[in-house]
A and B are shown apart, each in its own frame.
Chain A
């Protein structure tokens, strides 16, 4: 070690940090928080990572995105040698693991089932992630004062939002899509990023709400299924913040 000839042995923490940048596109959450990382083994010259999913029948295209993103993220850690990432216990495990090991890419791995790329799939879920993040801040804003009505959320700008993780999350998702992030820009945007006309404000918010409920509901179900399938996996999961995990208690009651 340290002579510049041997590949540096990275610590498990470095590898896990890299895996923490890999997001489940459907759930908009790092695979490390979801408990999808089953094991990380660091040996001289080789890092081996095993991933697991809530069911054998999780969609193979999403599985591919996470596994290949995980491989790319770990490979980018300075000094790692050989990187082996494998998906365990999935109906397409053999196919995906073979394709990844051969560096065959999406089309090379899935053959006739793959037409072009998964770029549009990824973009669709980046848009949903943004929509859900937007709805969370708007719903929190509405609930903070019962006098506020859904039809007025169109007036709210990014600069009006209270600082906090939900606002940070929204701005990050906007940036990822190339949407405006300046304080004067409206919070409420249509799925295509446009500013909805005044008479479509409520409908846009309600549609965004269905997206948020769907994403959050799926995230909770997937987390639960993972712990049913792999007892003990709950200790590998980080809590998911939610605007709906419990009935909101007015602050006056707590005071």
Chain B
């Protein structure tokens, strides 16, 4: 719980990880390149006071994670969204056993989502069933640029992915977190494009598709498909820290999301350990769209409360004290929102 100016905010960090990128776990040079890329994101977008030494960045462990994510009692609940990256790391990047043990120790504070790779075929489907039972899964994290043998990526619209999504549906795994990356097969087209999410969301209307990084670097493609699909959501991982380095750009991202998909479908995420949630929550509560950006409405306290926790809590069934709950906005399910939206003829 975060309290500011008499307002109480229930906070859900919808994207955290417990990773191990230490040299002894790196399978090859790509393991080092991957964590170095993350570290450059971290150094580039963090306030100076929040920059960690490189050694700290490689691995945090469960105790430190609990201290970092739940510092000061601000974050109420956090959700693991692990990436496997088995081609880069000997024991994978996300540490399944450690994260699961931590979740069992702190079930009130943590939810463990797992992952699958549709290129694992029938065997992977059996594994998904076993994982769903073991972890009580309601959500999965999919990284479409995951390398896998000769393949360096897949689409949500691939036939095998559909088979996995059908099994998700059968197992009650309703929350599909999608993270696009730089590689896909074939390389002919833009790997960051979210058109495949559009197909899957249309064909699986009973599943929720949370596009991490709100589609960045393709915010425009994300907004365009999400405004048409009521079951597509925006995760703010990686978008959040721009609040510090480029607040006007952050205002545009939030302004666009509010315009195209509305206040009920946006999730706060720190992307821990890329960043820690405390400073992001503090800055977001204090944040406002600059007055000269008249193309966007001002953010309300209720909207901030929804983004910071109520939206994710609702999707995941995380209990929220009754006095902190808010009703959904009385808005269209598809097409642009905000006052001027009424004038628009949308396809």
Contact = CB atoms under 8 A, between A and B. Distances in A.
Interface of A: 26, 54-61, 91, 110, 112-118, 120-121, 124-125, 128, 150-151, 199-200, 202-203, 206-207, 209-211, 213-214, 216-218, 220-221, 224-225, 228-229, 244-248
Given A57-B34, A244-B248, A120 B188 contact: yes
Contact of A60 (B41, B187, B190): B187
29 contacts: A56-B33, A57-B34, A61-B188, A112-B150, A112-B185, A113-B152, A113-B187, A115-B188, A117-B188, A120-B189, A121-B188, A121-B189, A121-B190, A199-B345, A202-B344, A203-B336, A203-B346, A209-B295, A210-B220, A213-B249, A214-B218, A221-B44, A221-B217, A221-B246, A225-B40, A225-B41, A228-B40, A228-B43, A228-B44
Interface residues of B, number: 50
A207 B220 contact: yes
Interface string B242-273: 10011011001100100110000000000000
A220 B29 CA distance: 27
A57 B33 contact: yes
A26 B217 contact: yes
A151 B220 CA distance: 20
Chain A contact residues, majority secondary structure: helix
B345 A217 contact: no
Contacts of B183: 59-60
Nearest to A55: B37
A117 B223 CA distance: 27
Q: Which of A210, A214, A220, A228 has the most CB of B within 10 A?
A: A210
Nearest to A227: B44
B188 A55 contact: no
Top 10 A-B residue pairs of the complex, sorted by shortest distance between their CB atoms? A56-B33, A115-B186, A59-B182, A210-B220, A199-B345, A228-B44, A214-B219, A211-B220, A214-B220, A55-B37
A205 to B, nearest CB: 9
Contacts of A59: 182-183, 190-192
A124 B193 CA distance: 11
B346 A57 contact: no
Given A202-B343, A220-B249, 12 more contacts: A56-B30, A57-B181, A57-B182, A60-B187, A113-B186, A121-B189, A125-B190, A203-B336, A213-B219, A213-B256, A214-B218, A225-B40
